[in-house]
Amino acid sequence: MARYNAPFEIHVHGEVPLRAEVTFEQLQEALKPLWKYAGARSLADGATSAYEEEPGIRLDAQSHVLNMCWTVAGDEDFRQALDEMCMALNELSSQGAAIEVTFYDAEFDDEEDGAPDAESRDDFVMLFVGPDPAAIMQAQRDLLVQDVVALMERHFDGAELGGVVSEIDKLFSQRFDALVSSLELGRPPRGTGGSGGGHGGGRRPRHLH
């Protein structure tokens, strides 16, 4: 349904690597929370952004990558659509990936607003998807390293930051080990006839040194 006088313009931006066998029908179903929110009847109908200069939602069939640069008018309830989308994309993704979501306050005009104490309701959300917890943590780790290095290179040479990266890796290793331990607690003791199947946290993220 169309959302007139919506309080936000919501921009979704990201690139999600998909498994090679993912079909357009599967992707359309995974992204249904987005295009349905926009009032469309299909992904093809809802993939166009509110702004013509933005490419919208596109599937690169050759590289198997979902590209999103898409804006829709909406409200806070769009966050539920994002949660549903991420859960569905986890099943289709081949690697961890970050999705940036920006809520722009459509009702706030910095220059014309007559109330001096008024504040914009702009908000920024970083979401992560991936085939398993390790892949998601890897995407989180890579983004954090990128941000920290970019910040610190204003003051230090990049070659001096190896120790900082190592400390970030230690933090994520600790978080991963804690996740694995929590998952292990939910499994039956070995030798009791359990299936012995693996769990989502069994693959440790790679570390870049």
Q: What is the pLDDT of residues 69-115, one digit of tens each?
A: 999 999 999 999 999 999 999 999 999 999 999 999 987 754 455 45
- Residue 51 neighbours by CB distance under 10 Å: 13
Domain ranges of the chain: 8-131, 132-209
Show the low-confidence residues of the chain (pLDDT under 70): 1-4, 109-118, 183-209
- The kind and range of the H/E element at 71 are strand 65-74
Please tell me the predicted confidence (pLDDT) of residue 76: 95
- Predicted confidence at residue 102, as pLDDT, reads 97
Q: Which fold has domain 8-131?
A: Alpha-Beta Plaits (3.30.70)
In this predicted structure, what is the pLDDT of residue 11? 98
Q: Residue 146 has what pLDDT?
A: 87
Structure tokens at 95: 């690697």
The label of the residue with tokens 């359309």 reads 28
Reported as type and span, the H/E element at residue 10 is strand 8-17
As a whole number of angstroms, the distance between CA 100 and CA 150 comes to: 18
The DSSP annotation for 18-48 comes to B-TT--HHHHHHHTHHHHHHTT-SSHHHH-S
Distances (CA, A) of 88 to 27, 29, 44: 9, 8, 18
